[in-house]
Structure 1
Amino acid sequence: MRAIDWARPWYAPWRARGEVVAHAVANGVPLHEALDAAGPAPVRFVPQQALPPATPYERFVFEMRQCPVRPGLHDFFNGLVWLAMPQAKSALNRVQAAEIARAGIAARRGPVRDAVTVFDENGALLQAPPALWQALRERAWHRLFVQLRPLWREAQLLVFGHALLEQLAAPRKGLTAHVWCAAQPLEPGADADAWLASQCRAEVLAGKPFTPLPVLGVPGWWPQNENFSFYDDSHVFRPRKTPEPTTTTTSAGPART
């Protein structure tokens, strides 16, 4: 927990409850108990040992309404997202469980389970003026971050994926979110949670309605991007190679067994 710098902008939405849980853990409380005490949540947090061998994690969470927790930042942030966005997390878990019931566990997850995993681990919600969203969809990085930079004052970005929140404890330039265009203000809570949950349907997720965004490029999120040469790194800010597929939706690490 000491690795977390709560002053970072990406942690601001998670700070209030996160500091409470982190303080409890620092004082010897097991992480699953600290998360439970910070509830309520639609699942009960339990030790990792509660997950029976060879049982799919997502199916166990869905059927038992229990979320196995390991020590460390990964499950710490997963717990925080469960606490703050319970409807969305439940919807994603419900889709995963339905796909497992339909197709079982195979070497490849299939498009729906793959999309759920991508967003659950590395997703973010972006509410932004249309011009910013269009530039992002086009991977027009200079226009997005330099020419339209003043518009970012009207934008909100909420990192949802717990793996990305974990990785941002040690920020590096290449960290990339898969963003969904949001139709609600982005404070973790009822409105954003309900909207995201309503979008988490198999037919929507199968189309992977996400767009990659290198998060340290967001104005105000990283001091180095004040120098616009920051965006010249084509290994991070990559041009789009193929046309963006047409979609009618309002949009924006591996699964554990």
Structure 2
Amino acid sequence: MKGKGFRYVPWVPKIGTPEEQRKAWTGDYEEMKKDRSETGFGIFVPPANRKALWKEADSPNFVIKNQLSEAQQAAYAKALTACRSQSVKQVTGKVITSDADRAEQENKLIQQVVERELNGDPKLITLASATGDCLKGKGYRVDSLRPSDLNGRGSNEFEAQKRQIALNDDIPEKDLPEGQYYEPHLPAATAKQYLAKEVRAALDDLECGKDFYAAYLPRNAEIVNRVSAEFGGSGF
């Protein structure tokens, strides 16, 4: 960044995933139940209540950038993207063009590894089938019994509902990348109802999938961390 004429402070967030959150992400039943009792699948939880390990404003470079003019900020962002791409290539050999490109490549590789290592695993297939039967018995729709699809079933269902609400409100989704939308502004009582429904569904999903998640999530987390390391990330 100095070579491109900008001040930049080397900075890495000093964070560690809280132990209870790490346990929830890796299939611990009690921590998953606690988390889902509060946030469901994490879709309709109010933005103010969402858990974040760090914010952009925590970085000293946030202040540096915001002190620049609008034109300088655009040039700063362009320079930062170029420097990040150069750094990733030097460290990992990966060629990326932007943060979005990096995320897309990372996610695509994660999906490929999950397909290869998890979706064909006989034990996970058996557990996923039992989970799906249980959910159907409770009246939930299950379109696919592939382990990775079952893992994302609940969050995808409520994300689709939220997206539809956003697309039907009076806030036009202008100047946003395809598939993204502005957070819908729901009356407090309505938002509470959506979250309550989501929490019930998430807890039912957990009860049906207790054994499935205990087997699937630790391996999924290992894959995410492994692929993240390939792109210079630290995982969780």
Shorter-chain TM-score category? Answer: under 0.3
Q: Give the structure with the higher percent strand.
A: 1
Q: Give the structure with the higher percent helix.
A: 2
Structure with more relative contact order (C-alpha pairs < 8 Å, separation 6 or more)? 2
Larger radius of gyration: 2
Q: When the two structures are superposed, what TM-score results if normalisation uses the length of structure 2?
A: 0.21
